[in-house]
Amino acid sequence: MYLNPFDGARAKLGRSKEHFDELVRAEREYREQQPVHIEQRSDDGGTLVFAVADKLPGLREATIVADILGNFRSSLDLAVCEAARIAGATNLSKTYFHFASTEQEWDKSVKDRMKAAPGHIRSVVRALQPWANGNGILYALSKLAVADKHRLLVSTAGHTRELVFDGFRLTDMDGNPGAASPVGLRIPIWKPGEREAELMHVGPGSKVVVGGPIVLSLMFSFGDVDLVPFQPVIPLLNQMGGMCEHAIELIERASA
């Protein structure tokens, strides 16, 4: 028996924190492997330098992320259902923490999606703006959690955390110093399923010489290019978790 009706919702968040700690360890282990090497390819248009991932985040990491998102989403639904029980509801079918693509759609569909929730609880949820152009991060939480149920996995990709060059210089094609070709540097981001990411483009007549190692320290990032394009996973999940805690607290206060 729970001492507090909202303990169940908070227990879901507590479980997500355990998964979160596991994800932090997995990212640290992945980063320590330094799973990237550098390749150069030259043609008449100059030289392209690629960061090539020997290993990308895999199924284990993606399923940990999915577990976290699932617990986040469930905690919000549980909080709304507990608030409905406190208000006297006995039938909780079609009662959720309601999300919608737009504010107008939210208002139109709230009665069907928060059926047993009293008006003041609906108002609390509405104030959190759980739609795409309102609270975009909260909305993304729900969309990613739902997508996982239909596509099995949340897609993850590699994102650069730190980039360090040691002994970098440009030369002409014979190795002599003084090359003046333009250099375009990019921070590598790996799209889902791709192992190559462009690091640098050097104009014709020059080449890159690196006197020491190039260190690329990686982070996990979401690979959903439409919803959260290449956002680092751990900071974004941390932000989502804080929003869930805040939402549960608001719903609990409104139910007192």
pLDDT at 241 over 80: yes
Query: What confidence tens digit (pLDDT) does each residue in 114-170 have?
Result: 999 999 999 999 999 999 999 999 999 999 888 765 554 566 667 777 777 766 777
H/E stretch holding 46: strand 46-53
Query: What confidence tens digit (pLDDT) does each residue in 205-230 have?
Result: 777 776 666 677 778 888 766 778 77
DSSP classification of residue 117: S
| Token reading at 250 | 């608001």
CA distances from 30 to 36, 167, 216 (A): 11, 26, 12
Task: Show Cβ contacts of residue 131 under 8 Å, excluding neighbours closer than 6 positions.
Answer: 99, 100, 101, 102, 103, 105, 106, 139
Q: Percentage of residues in the chain with pLDDT exceeding 70? A: 89
- How many residues are present in the chain? 256
Task: Show Cβ contacts of residue 170 under 8 Å, excluding neighbours closer than 6 positions.
Answer: 177, 179, 181, 183, 202, 206, 207, 208, 209
Taking the domains of the chain in order of start, what are their residue ranges?
Answer: 7-255
CA distances from 208 to 44, 49, 190, 195, 215 (A): 15, 8, 22, 21, 16
* pTM of the predicted model as reported, rounded to 2 decimal places: 0.84
Burial, 56: exposed, middle or buried (Cβ in 10 Å; 0-12, 13-18, 19+)?
A: buried
DSSP classification of residue 213: P
CA atoms of 82 and 3, how far apart (whole Å) = 13
pLDDT at 90 over 90: yes
- Weakest mean pLDDT among 10-19, 55-64, 71-80, 132-141: 55-64
CA atoms of 77 and 115, how far apart (whole Å) = 12
Using DSSP, state whether 82 is helix, strand or coil: helix
pLDDT at 152: 47
pLDDT at 174 over 70: yes
